[in-house]
Amino acid sequence: MDSTLFDLTGKVALVTGAGGGLGNAISNGLAAHGATVIVSDIDLTVCDAVADSIRRQGGIAHALGCDLADPVAINQLVTDALALCGRVDVLVCNAGIQGPAGSLAAVSDDDWEQVMNINLRSAQRLTALLIPAMAERGDGSVILMASIAALRGNKAIGLYGLSKAALAQLARNLTVEWGPSGVRVNAIAPGLIRTPLATALIDNRAFMERRLAATPLRRVGEPEEIAGVVIMLASRAGGFIAGQTLVVDGGTLISDGG
């Protein structure tokens, strides 16, 4: 077995939503495997903290703030990333928001626009700006963060699920379009992962009893377990995986709940 299969030395990775639980783990994981990581989030102070942590551990990282709801800011993020590193080889579109909870019938136009702009349109814009240069080099990996909410019905966070389902389709469309030029685009669909955003659910005993009963592994996932899949997809280890949505949920989706 080639010991460099997961090696990302010499690669430049841009991670959005890098200040959150998943984004932090992903950024640290990519750096630990040799990538230069551009850490991006809406809060530059948080980005700086993540980048500093990576550098203290011997990695290479840069911090760039960006409000992904703003198309001008997205253009500037790409401009600044290219000015810093010259290229982006790995794009991880991890940023996202849940949006309103409740019936889809109650979703306002403002809610719709905000969730779709941040969760979906920002990923489309970033890929449109960065994939053509990857294609010119004949190599690149894009990872879109979907959710198991994209793969089953949900009465509580339907708008979120719609946006995440669209990301899975975006991975398929972009793979068909750019795969012949060596660019792979995939999505990851996490289940319940132990992040700050999931704290309220994890602290809800009744919910957790139901969820763990429906999860064959009988536990919550850890951020590093999502980061591991990102590293695989970014590296040669995932070199023949394209246009897929990889479910990382401890078996929740395949369970009958018994």
Pairing of the two strands 140-145 and 90-93: parallel
Query: Which of 160, 220, 238, 245 is labelled catalytic?
Result: 160
Backbone φ, ψ for residue 237 (5° rounding): -60, -30
**160 is annotated as an active-site residue:** yes
Using CA atoms, how far apart are residues 193 and 248, in angstroms rounded to an integer? 9
Neighbours of 83 (CB within 10 A): 8
Give the sheet arrangement for strand 183-190, strand by strand.
60-65, 36-41, 12-15, 90-93, 140-145, 183-190, 245-248
The set of residues, in sequence order, having a beta carbon less than 8 Å from that of 7 and lying 6+ positions away, is 33, 34, 235, 236
Q: Which residues are catalytic?
A: 160
